[in-house]
Amino acid sequence: MSRNIALGGLLTALFTALALVSFLYTPHDIQTLDIPNKLQTPSGTNWLGTDHFGRDILSMIMMGARTSIAVAVLAVGIGICVGVPLGLLAAARRGSLLDEIIMRGNDLVFAFPSLVIAILITAIFGPSAINAIIAIGIFNIPVFARLSRGAALPIWERDFILAARVSGKSSFRISYEHILPNITNLMIVQGTIQFSLGILAEAALSYIGLGAQPPTASWGRMLADAQTLTSIAPHVALIPGLAIVLMVLGLNLLGDGLRDLLDPRIRRARA
C-alpha cells in the first residue's frame, strides 16, 4: 500500500517538478529550431537527443509535461466543479423529478465514448488546448456527479444529518456543511484516477492533431511527429511514449494507494 503511494507519488512529483521548472528554465529554447542538428542521439548537450527540427527533447518533455498537467488539472477541475454540485443536488432531492433529469442527463453524456465527445467538440470549435480542456472536462462531469450522488445517499440516512435537519438547516446547507466533507476523500481518489485519464486523453487528442497546436509542446504530438522516424531515430518516439506511460502509471499507483488509505468503504472493510 505505502509502496504504491511512494512510487506513484515519486513519479507524479517528478513530472510536476519538471513542469514547474520549465516556467523558469529549460536546457534549450524549443521555440527556435536548429534543423542542421536534427535527430541527434542523447549526448552531453542534449541529454535526451533532439527531434526532427533539432529541438532538445528534454526541454520538449518539460514543456509537454506542463501542457499535459495543465490540461488534465483544468479538465478534472471542470468535472469536479460541475459534477459534484450536480451529484449533491440530485442526492438532496433524491427521488424527485430533478434528480431524474440530472442523472439521466449524466447517463446521456456518459453513454458517449469520451474520445468521441472530444473529437466532436474540437471538430466544431477548432483544435486548441482550451477546447481539449473543455472536451475532457465535459466527460469528467458525469463521473463525479454519479460518484458524489452515490456517496451522498447513505450519508443522508445517518443520524447526524437527521439532527441537522431537526435544527432547521436547509438541504443546501446540509449538503455543503455535512455531506461534502464526508465525500471529499472519495473525490480525491477519483480525481487522481481521472487526472491520469485526462493526461491520456490529452495525449490522444494531440496525437490525432486535435489538442494543443504547435508551437505549444505536447507529448501526444511529439509521438505523432516521431511516428515515421521510429526506424531511423527510435528515441524520438520512445521518450515521449515513456513519459506518458510513466506519468499515467504514477498517477494510477498514487490513486490506488490513496484509495486504500482514504476510501471509508475499504477502510471499514479492513477494520
Partner 1 sequence: MTHFTKLLSASVLALTAGMASAQTDITVAIQLEPPNLDPTGGAAQAIDSVLYSNVFEGLTRFMADGSVVPGLAASWDISEDGLTYTFTLQSGVMFHDGTTMDAEDVKFSLDRARAEDSTNAQKGLFADIADVTVIDPATIAVTLAQPNGSFLFNMAWGDAVIVAPESIETIASNPIGTGAFTFTDWVQGDRLELTRNDAYWGDAPALESATFRFISDPTAAFAAVMAEDVDAFVGFPAPENLPQFEADPRFQVLVGNTEGETILSMNNQMPPFDNVLVRQAVSLAIDRQAIIDGAMFGYGTPIGTHFAPHNPDYVDLIENSSHNPDRARELLAEAGFADGFTTTLKLPPPSYARRGGEIIAAQLREVGITAEISNLEWAQWLEDVFKAKDFGMSIVSHTEPMDIGIYANPDYYFQYDNIVFQAVMEKLNTTTDPDMRSELMAAAQTLISEDYVNGYLFQLAVPTVAKAGLNGLWLDQPTAAVDLTGVSWSE
Of 61-90, binders to partner 1 (CB under 8 A) are none
**Choice from 14, 16, 28, 38 touching partner 1 (CB under 8 A):** 38
- The interface region with partner 1, picked from 51-59, 183-191, 240-248, 263-271 by CB under 8 A, is 51-59
> Nearest-5° angle of CA 181, CA 185, CA 187?
95
Smallest distance, Å, CB 72 to partner 1?
22
35: contact with partner 1 by CB under 8 A: yes
Task: For the CB of residue 81, give the shortest distance to partner 1 in the complex, in Å.
Answer: 29
Minimum gap (Å) between residue 37 Cβ and partner 1: 11
| Region 213-252 residues binding partner 1, contact defined as CB under 8 A | 213-215, 227-229, 231-232
Pick 182 or 213: Cβ nearer partner 1 = 213
DSSP class of 255: H
Residues 137-176 contacting partner 1, CB under 8 A: none
- CB-CB contact of 236 with 251 (8 Å): no
Contact with partner 1 (CB under 8 A): which of 31, 45, 96, 170? 31
C-beta of residue 64 within 8 angstroms of C-beta of residue 219: yes
- Look up residue 68 and give its three cell numbers: 499535459
Q: Which x/- pattern, by CB under 8 A, does the window 99-128 give for partner 1?
A: ---------------------------xx-
- The reply on whether position 41 binds partner 1 by CB under 8 A is no
User: What is the spatial distance between Cα 132 and Cα 254, in angstroms, rounded to a whole number?
Assistant: 24
For every residue of 124-166, DSSP letters joined together read HH-S-HHHHHHHHHHHHHHHHHHHHHHHHHHHHTSHHHHHHHH
Indicate the angle between helix axes 97-111 and 57-92, nearest 10 degrees: 150
Q: Which of 235, 208, 195, 246 is CA-nearest to residue 69?
A: 195
Provide the binding-site residues for partner 1, judged by CB under 8 A.
31-33, 35-36, 38, 52-54, 126-127, 209, 213-215, 227-229, 231-232
